[in-house]
Chain A
Amino acid sequence: NAGVTQTPKFQVLKTGQSMTLQCAQDMNHEYMSWYRQDPGMGLRLIHYSVGAGITDQGEVPNGYNVSRSTTEDFPLRLLSAAPSQTSVYFCASSTRDRRLDGYTFGSGTRLTVV
């Protein structure tokens, strides 16, 4: 099925561990982004990319890295996990004609840092 695929769906990390959240889309979308969602705070933009080889920081980038080596993949790396990074993470993608349906979201990764 076409769409945005995120893995893993659930993850528990110990403080200080590193890991990579995977995101892949098969819709040939130019734009991809990572959001985190916390209770009462809505979706906050972490990093985004407007095409392969191009990335930039969003609202809350500290503690996270991204890369975009292909159009399809946009992994999010946690360098040294902290309890404050406990959250639900969503990857989203979009075409240039964003008027039609805005973003397509992945199913999310629920991360707990202990």
Chain B
Amino acid sequence: GQNIDQPTEMTATEGAIVQINCTYQTSGFNGLFWYQQHAGEAPTFLSYNVLDGLEEKGRFSSFLSRSKGYSYLLLKELQMKDSASYLCAVREPPPNDYKLSFGAGTTVTVRA
């Protein structure tokens, strides 16, 4: 089975940094995705980690520790447009590697 945990809500100030944690206990692991979802819209891809370590993409970074079943998404220099829900998703190993299991999402509110 899949158990993926994220905090429900986080609030931060414009220009600050926020770290969204994701812990997982799954029957198999083949990579972890982060998606951004604005209210009323579809999720959009942010990052993918399959090996341990930090992946940086501009203001967003994602970290993975497979031994700890832990990932985080780091949002730097927060902007008002970063107010959204952030979804953590774990990919199953082959032959089911097309399947993703999602956490419930973390709603981030950026305040001026």
Contacts and interface: CB of A to CB of B under 8 A. Distances in A.
A102 B104 contact: no
A43 B42 contact: no
Nearest to A107: B42
A74 interface: no
Interface of A: 31, 33, 35, 40-45, 48, 50, 58, 90, 94, 98-103, 105-108
A107 B104 CA distance: 19
Contact of A94 (B8, B41, B44, B98): B98
Nearest to B43: A105
* Chain B: number of interface residues, binned into ranges: 20 to 34
B45 A102 contact: yes
Interface string B18-37: 00000000000001010100
A43 B100 CA distance: 10
Contacts of A35: 102
Given A42-B105, A98-B91, A48 B44 contact: no
15 contacts: A40-B104, A42-B87, A42-B102, A42-B105, A43-B102, A44-B102, A45-B99, A48-B99, A90-B43, A99-B31, A99-B50, A102-B91, A103-B45, A105-B42, A105-B43
A44 B101 CA distance: 8
A50 B43 contact: no
Contacts of B41: 107-108
B10 to A, nearest CB: 15
